[in-house]
Structure formats: structure tokens, C-alpha cells
Amino acid sequence: MADSKSKSRPGTGITDQEALDFHKNGRPGKLEINPTKPMATQRDLSLAYSPGVAVPVKAIAADPATAYDYTSRGNMVAVISNGTAILGLGNLGALASKPVMEGKSVLFKRFADVDSIDLEIDTENVDEFINCVRYLGPSFGGINLEDIKAPDCFIIEQRLRELMDIPVFHDDQHGTAIIAAAGLINALELTGRDLKTTKLVCNGAGAAAIACIELIKAMGFNPENIVLCDTKGVIYQGRSEGMNQWKSAHAVKTDKRTLAEAMKGADVVFGLSQKDAFSEDMIRSLADKPIIFAMANPDPEITPEEVARIRDDAIMATGRSDYPNQVNNVLGFPYIFRGALDVRATTINDEMKIAAVNALASLAREDVPDDVVAAYQGARPRFGAQYIIPVPFDPRLISAIPVAVAKAAIESGVARREMPDMAAYARELSARRDPIASTLAQLYERVRRHQKRIVFAEAEEEQVMRAALSYANQGLGTAILLGREDLIEATAERAGIDLNRPGLEIVNARISKRGDAYIDYLYARLQRQGYLHRDVTRLIHNDRNHFAACMVALGDADGMVTGVTRNYSTALGDVRRCIDAKPGHRVIGISIVLARGRTVFVADTAVHDMPTSEELADIAEEAAGFARRMGYEPRVAMLAYSTFGHPSGERSERVREAVSILDKRHLNFEFDGEMAADVALNRKIMESLYPFSRLSGPANVLVMPAFHSAAISTKMLQELGGSTVIGPLLVGLDKPVQITSMGAKDSDIVNMAAIAAYGAGS
């Protein structure tokens, strides 16, 4: 294990230890279940359980369709595996497949708001597996089979489709086929090829491979132009070794016997086999402008770097998220089930699959609108060799694919529910997603492109060291470790952290050649504030926050992160001695609260203790600007304990005055108040009691009347409400500095470092 812990996964910027920690930290695993109804009072209990629960029981017994109205069935999918083909890792058993299955369940939720649970079935016996699943129908709206080896998966899926009246979909077959087909259509168009004359080799003849070639044949690909290979080489007519009926159906008449022979002159090659299955010579032997989809996970048949070394005319795709053109079923299964569930489809048929292929292929050809650019690393991709398929974070997927799938289900007669207003359905779908994930993805990608130098002020601490290493490993830029080399190295050695890698620098404040420049700079700032030269010298030599902040102030670093060893206000005081507010700005703290699919910005969570009306107005402006930079159209609520004058009181008066000040500033964002938090956040309350409110929807920026209410409410949300809270983030400083909470984990520190780097701009 010691070995696997320090190993870095090439290209990903993550170590094996990070992957283990990610799964282990907090509540182990990636999934938990939460109730959707309150269960607090005797009345709740009477309604949810006995006697109230008997009423929906009888209703469902009388009319089974009402199960969709009274239970979670209609939004619930089971991800089921026996672990016989886990990614490209082979048969490692049901239990070992659980991390992948939990992951698929989380992706269902994350991308398409489909609730999902993973079920691992501990048998390799096909009949036992079928019997185990066939009776689960009442629990779920759909069954997603995953990572079951061929040919068992074909028998299992077919039989379950016959036995169950809900969609049964083997993701590795059809999910993969849909995405690969969409990518292929676009790659063929880009290279000027015709479906009917193109020659394709598919390495792998299992679940994914067979489904891919069946789908592209159904779309018009000439069967004679497809050569399938497996571990025994080419699948030719008459071969007897390692065959089954599904392979035989695709056997061709040919003299070729090896993959290398088959690939010579081929236009397209699909890898659905294993890591490193393609050699450089094989890639060299392909036709001009070859299309290479190396889709094995977690490591492809050949990497894009290896292909780029051999030739520059290829269109290259892999199954991974860290390269362009990710051909991975994650682009399909969440959205296909979303559409199928919403029309209560009995199955997912070919019409629905082809509708998904076409929707995906056309999305990649469409212009990427401004509000979607965030998902594309802040750059606007253009349909071309590096962009043949949308990225998983593309927020258009959630409306485009389910709509196409739902329409096809209705038209092909497998829907149990009509969808009379498709435009309204598309709008509803968009509302299911929150842009924060794509915003954070954009943030990281922008940082990656601009490679900022971030000083980690408390680098003698182990978690800071890990964060710095992760910053460098993720390719975000240079991490400067501020501290004494001997201490840093001893701690690194003890913790098994390898600091000998590019992208890491150690700076020792005591012996730095820049010390004098920092002293001069800081002395000029502080000499009239009670600091003697020797006081400033001591600060620079002995205090990491002052040294680091001066590095940033004088351009030796682009940003700074601190806070692990010193409380927030002390660290902020240290930084403010060295760095001013941006001209025309006010320094404030903003916390981003992610709760139940909603993102809300809360201010001021760090700086102003009891802001005046004028200060509250500034905070509102600063917070609105920040929300907009994060991709949100701000709707600012100026919060108080009262709403529009009732009950009255001195504290609320101050908030009312802040609104008047904002009114005079002629701003280009929505704001209103004073109002209580429930009015700000609950559309129904606002519309029914305060229809005159100027907010066009629930607020997404909450300006708190004072620091204590901001700090108390965000901490309560985190601890009691199960919300994720990012921050407080420091906004409005002239140079980017972020302060973590004391004792923050390495993952929090690296997020703060990335946010500081983002603040450093381009």
C-alpha cells in the first residue's frame, strides 16, 4: 500500500492517496440518503407512517400508476453490477465495483437530478443475477446495469427487458454506443468521410464494443467495413477460438489475423479493450486523418500525447475528463434516464437512443453561447478536431438530451405520460441544474491556463504542504512553500510527501534576498502608524503572513493563501498591513452556500462587524459584482429581522437606509429590502405577501445586517442544514489573498489557492 499511496496518476494531477482520502474522509463513500418530508412532529409521523401511509398504499393497489405520484419511484434508478467488468480493470467482484457504482449514482444526481442507489449483486451466475433483479421493479423507475462482462450482459439485459416494465439499460453497451456514435458522426464530417465507405477497426468485442458497432451499423455503416478484434486477434468468419454468438454476428471474411494487420490503412479505430492495446506502429499505419477513439478506462489504449508524437493529423478522443473529446457514457446515462423517467417510459428503445445520438452530435456543432462558455474552460470552443462532443459540464445537455429522448419515447409509443408543452419541459429541466459546478470547473481551468505563482504562507504545516503539492500536481501553477527548508523537508519526509517535483519552490524568509525590499516597502507604509524600522524588520523576518503578503504586494508571487495556524481576523490584520483595498472597492468576505441545488452568496461574512448604511450599500455592490463574476445574475436581498417596515426597529432602519443609498447609485442589478430571510428565499411568500418587491425571483445574494448574523447563519447552515459552504472568500483586496479557516484540510486549502490564483486574473 505504501507504494500506491505516493504514486501519482499520470496526466490527472491526483495521487492514489488523494483518491483514497477523497473516498474515506468525512462520511465514507460518496452517497447518503435524505428524507424529502419533515418527520418532526406527531402529525408528520401520522401522515408519513401509520395511519396516514395506508391511504397511498390503497391508492396504489387500486391504480399502480399512482406510485409515481405518491412514492419516489418515478425519479429513482438503481445502478446494478456484479463487478465482472469494472471499467477496464476486469473482473474484481461485486464489492470492489461499489466505488464505481456509487460514482454512477452520484453522477445521476449531479447531472440530471435523478435519485439513484447502487446495488452490488454477488453472483456471476446469469440466472441468479436475473432472478435477483427481476423482482425489484416496484422500487425503481429504471434499472441501469453497469460493468457486467460480455457475453453475460447481453443475456441479462435482454431477459430483464422482457421481464420488467421499466427501462432496463446496460450503460456500458448503449450509453457508450450513443456517445461514440455521436462523436463519430462529427469526426466523419470533419474529415470529409462518408459513413458508407469508411473503414473501422474495433478492438475489444465485449459489452461496449458489440453495442457500438451494432448502433453504427443501424445508422448506415457498411458491415463489411468493420473489423472486430479481441484478445485472440481478428474475428473472422470461421474462427472458433474464444467465440460466442454475439461476436460471430460481426465476423467478416478477411485474411487479416492480428490487430496490427487490421489497423493498417483503417480510417477509424475504436478502443474498447484495455490500457496500452495500441502500439505506435499501429497508429502510424492508419489512413490519413485517422479517427482514434481510445475509450478504455481508466487508462486509454494509447494516450493523446503518444499519438501527438507520432502524427498530427488525427482526431483523438478518450474516455477521460483530462483530455479534449471525452467520449464517455457520463454524457448519456443521466440525461437519457431523465427523459425516460419524465414520460414514464416502459423501456429505452432504439428510437430514443438515436434521438440522443443526434441531439449530442448537433449540440457540438452549435455555437457555444456566452452563458455556457464557463463549462469550456472560459474559452469558446469551435466545432473541430479538438471539440467533436460536448463536455460533461455543458449545462445545455440537461435540456437538449432529455427533451429529444422524451419526444422519441412519445412518438414511438413507449411513454406512459404525455408532455404537452415541450418548451416548458425544457425550461423546467434547465432549472434542475445549478451553474456552480461549471463555474468552479471554469475557475480551475482558467487557473490552469494562466499558471499563477501562489505563496503558501504556512508551508511547515503538513496539510499546507499537501495542498501545495496538489496545486502543482494539478498543473495550476507554481506553489511557493514559505518556511524553513530543514523543517519543511523533515515534515515532508515524515509524512511521505515527495517535494522533488517541478512546480514547487521553497522560500525561507530569514535568508531571502528580497527581505530588505519587503522591509523598505512595509516601513514606508507603517512608519506613521507606530512601527519603528526594527518592528517592521521583525515582522518580515519572523512573520510568514507579512512576508508572504509583501511577496504578493511586490509581484514576487501572484497570490497568497494562509489561515491554518492563526485565526481569521489576525491573519486578515497581517495582510491588511501590507495590501490595501482595490481603488474604489471595499474589502469584504463572501461565503458561497450550496444547498439543495441552490447557490446563494452571503456577505459580509468576514470583515465588517456592525456596518453602517453606507457600508451595507458598498457590501451589496461588492457582493453583486462577485456573484456576476461567478456567472450569476445577482438578485440582492438586504436582510433584516423585519420585512418592509414591520416590525420596526433601529437595526432595520439602518438596512432601509442602505436600500435608499443603493437607489441613488443607479446600479445595474436587482436589489430590495429590508426583508427577512424567508421572504428573500421563498418565492411564494414574496409573491403572496409582498407582490411589489423589486426582485424578479428568490434572492441569490444575501447581505446580512451585521457580521454576527452572517457568521452565525452560514455556520448553522453548514452544521444543521447539510449545506456546503465555500469561504469566506476575501473580495475587494488589491492583490489576491485568501484566508482559510483554522485547521482547514488540504482540499480546502488548495481550493482557496485556486480562488486566489483566479483572482490574479490573466
**Which active-site residues does the annotation give?**
104
CB 433 within 8 A of CB 394: no
Site for ligand NDP in 673-712 (CB under 6 A): none
CB 253 within 8 A of CB 242: no
Compute the least distance from the CB of residue 100 to ligand CC(=O)C(=O)O, in Å: 7
Using the 8-state DSSP alphabet, how is residue 175 labeled? I
Q: SS3 for 759?
A: helix
How distant, in Å, are the alpha carbons of 22, 188, 408, 409 from that of 491? 22, 54, 60, 60
What distance in Å separates the CA atoms of residue 669 and residue 699, rounded to the nearest whole number? Answer: 12
Among the listed residues 150, 572, 717, 739, the single contact to ligand NDP using CB under 6 A = 150
Cβ nearer to ligand NDP, comparing 397 with 552:
397
315-318 and 8-9 strand pairing? unpaired
Tell me which residues touch ligand CC(=O)C(=O)O (CB under 6 A): 87, 147, 171-172, 297, 319, 328-329
89 is in an annotated binding site: yes
Q: Is 206 in the site for ligand NDP (CB under 6 A)?
A: yes
Cβ nearer to Mg ion, comparing 146 with 621:
146
Site for ligand NDP in 261-280 (CB under 6 A): 272-274, 277
User: Considering only 295-303, 384-392, 489-497, 743-751, which stretch makes contact with ligand NDP by CB under 6 A?
Assistant: 295-303
172 is in an annotated binding site: yes
Site for ligand NDP in 514-553 (CB under 6 A): none
CB 674 within 8 A of CB 639: yes
Q: Which does 230 bind (CB under 5 to 8 A by kind): ligand NDP, Mg ion, ligand CC(=O)C(=O)O, none?
A: ligand NDP
Rounded to a whole number, what is the distance in angstroms from the first to the last CA of the chain? Answer: 41
How distant, in Å, are the alpha carbons of 167, 339, 377 from that of 352? 11, 9, 31
What distance in Å separates the CA atoms of residue 618 and residue 658, rounded to the nearest whole number? Answer: 9
Segment holding 476, helix H or strand E: none
How distant, in Å, are the alpha carbons of 77, 168, 341, 372 from that of 113? 11, 19, 11, 19
Give the CB-nearest residue to ligand CC(=O)C(=O)O: 297
Q: Is 118 in the site for Mg ion (CB under 5 A)?
A: no
Q: Is 261 in the site for Mg ion (CB under 5 A)?
A: no
Residues 6+ apart with CB under 8 A from 3: none
Q: Which does 504 bind (CB under 5 to 8 A by kind): ligand CC(=O)C(=O)O, ligand NDP, Mg ion, none?
A: none
How distant, in Å, are the alpha carbons of 155, 167, 304 from that of 164? 14, 8, 42
Cβ nearer to ligand CC(=O)C(=O)O, comparing 148 with 440:
148
Q: What's the sign of the alpha-carbon dihedral 225, 300, 258, 286? A: positive
Burial class (CB in 10 A: 0-12, 13-18, 19+), 493: exposed
Q: Is 67 in the site for ligand NDP (CB under 6 A)?
A: no
How many residues comprise the chain? 762
Compute the least distance from the CB of residue 297 to Mg ion, in Å: 7
What distance in Å separates the CA atoms of residue 168 and residue 159, rounded to the nearest whole number? Answer: 10
What distance in Å separates the CA atoms of residue 362 and residue 191, rounded to the nearest whole number? Answer: 16
Q: Which of 122, 172, 123 is nearest to 144 (CA)?
A: 172
Cβ nearer to ligand NDP, comparing 270 with 671:
270
Cβ nearer to ligand NDP, comparing 42 with 245:
245
CB 340 within 8 A of CB 142: yes
Q: Where do the H-state alpha helices sit in 412-484? A: 422-431, 436-450, 462-473
Site for Mg ion in 163-202 (CB under 5 A): 172
Q: How many residues sit in the footprint of ligand NDP (CB under 6 A)?
A: 30
92 is in an annotated binding site: yes
Q: Is 205 in the site for ligand NDP (CB under 6 A)?
A: yes
Site for ligand NDP in 157-196 (CB under 6 A): 172, 176
Q: Which does 205 bind (CB under 5 to 8 A by kind): Mg ion, ligand CC(=O)C(=O)O, ligand NDP, none?
A: ligand NDP
Compute the least distance from the CB of residue 276 to ligand CC(=O)C(=O)O, in Å: 16
93 is in an annotated binding site: yes
For residue 710, the number of C-alpha atoms closer than 13 Å in the C-beta half-sphere is: 29
Cβ nearer to ligand NDP, comparing 171 with 604:
171
User: Considering only 12-20, 327-335, 424-432, 734-742, which stretch makes contact with ligand NDP by CB under 6 A?
Assistant: 327-335
Q: Which set of grid coordinates corresponds to residue 334?
A: 443521466
Q: Is 120 in the site for Mg ion (CB under 5 A)?
A: no
Among the listed residues 60, 77, 85, 409, the single contact to ligand NDP using CB under 6 A = 85
Burial class (CB in 10 A: 0-12, 13-18, 19+), 207: buried
Q: Is 87 in the site for ligand NDP (CB under 6 A)?
A: yes
CB 617 within 8 A of CB 665: yes
Among the listed residues 102, 115, 118, 147, the single contact to Mg ion using CB under 5 A = 147
Among the listed residues 149, 217, 365, 538, the single contact to ligand NDP using CB under 6 A = 149
Give buried/exposed letters for 286-314 (b at 16+ CB in 10 A, else e): bbebbbbbbbbbebbbbbbebbeeebeeb
Q: Which does 374 bind (CB under 5 to 8 A by kind): ligand CC(=O)C(=O)O, Mg ion, ligand NDP, none?
A: none
Cβ nearer to ligand NDP, comparing 245 with 668:
245
**Strand-pair partners of 731:** 588
Cβ nearer to ligand NDP, comparing 325 with 591:
325
429 is in an annotated binding site: no
CB 388 within 8 A of CB 315: yes
88 is in an annotated binding site: yes
User: Considering only 141-149, 413-421, 661-669, 730-738, which stretch makes contact with Mg ion by CB under 5 A?
Assistant: 141-149
Cβ nearer to ligand CC(=O)C(=O)O, comparing 319 with 483:
319
146 is in an annotated binding site: yes
Cβ nearer to ligand CC(=O)C(=O)O, comparing 329 with 723:
329
297 is in an annotated binding site: yes
Compute the least distance from the CB of residue 147 to ligand CC(=O)C(=O)O, in Å: 5
What distance in Å separates the CA atoms of residue 494 and residue 491, rounded to the nearest whole number? Answer: 5
Among the listed residues 329, 478, 652, 751, the single contact to ligand NDP using CB under 6 A = 329
Q: Is 242 in the site for ligand NDP (CB under 6 A)?
A: yes
Q: Is 257 in the site for ligand NDP (CB under 6 A)?
A: no
Q: Which of 305, 261, 278 is nearest to 203 (CA)?
A: 278
Binding residues for a divalent metal cation: 146-147, 172, 297
Binding residues for NADP(+): 86-93
Binding site for Mg ion (CB under 5 A): 147, 172
Binding residues: 86-93, 146-147, 172, 297
Binding site for ligand NDP (CB under 6 A): 85, 87-88, 149-150, 172, 176, 203-209, 229-232, 242, 272-274, 277, 295-297, 319, 327-329
